[in-house]
Amino acid sequence: MRRVAAAAAAAILALTAPATAAEPRTTLPDVEDEVMCTTCNVPLNIAESPQADQERAVIRRLIARGLTKEQVKDELVEQYGSDVLALPEEEGVNLAAYLVPIALVVAMLAGAAITLPRWRRRTQTAQAQNTNEAASDAELKRLDEDLARWDR
């Protein structure tokens, strides 16, 4: 009877074990380049220090628990503070980090939209003037030829 119970227990364990092992939903390299080594102030994927090694171990543990990249990052903020994120969170003053570059690009495009047509107009006018001058040269040449014929 005991053997049957033990076999049944083993069978239950064998069936439940794969179910409890969480499926990885992200990878260490995927997380590593978006977080910082908090003591060395460089991205974790290029950091070499005891703290960086321990941070990687923490990430591996979190991945093994089946957490997504965002969940891993949230947990890292819980453990190491907001400085652990390589990119600031998209809220409050941190929004400036995202909005300022966009505003700069928009301003540059607007500047280009205003200045380019003017520049093109100016270039076309200059070309037209050059063409006129070229025509005058031709006329001058013909005039010279005519005068030369008269002199003969």
Partner 1 sequence: MRRTYVPLVVIASLALVVLLVYGVIGAGEATTLDDAVRAGEKPAAPTDALPLLAGGEASIADWRGKPVLVNFWASWCDPCKDEAPLMERAHRRLTAKGGTVLGVTVDDATDDSKAFMREHGITFPSLRDVEGELAEGFETTGVPESFAVDREGRIVAISRGQVSRAFVEDALKRVGA
List contacts with partner 1 (CB under 8 A). 38-39, 50-51, 53-55, 58, 61, 78-83
Output 82 or 131, the one with its CB closest to partner 1: 82
Output 18 or 92, the one with its CB closest to partner 1: 92
Output 9 or 46, the one with its CB closest to partner 1: 46
The phi and psi torsions of 107 (rounded to 5 degrees) equal -60, -40
Q: How far is the CB of 68 from partner 1 (least distance, A)?
A: 19
Q: How far is the CB of 67 from partner 1 (least distance, A)?
A: 14
46 CB-side CA count, 13 A: 5
User: 3-state DSSP call for residue 69?
Assistant: helix
Q: How far is the CB of 51 from partner 1 (least distance, A)?
A: 5
Sign for the pseudo-dihedral over CA of 60, 65, 70, 74: negative
Query: CA–CA separation, 51 vs 35, rounded Å?
Result: 13
Q: How far is the CB of 94 from partner 1 (least distance, A)?
A: 15
Output 82 or 129, the one with its CB closest to partner 1: 82
Burial class (CB in 10 A: 0-12, 13-18, 19+), 75: middle
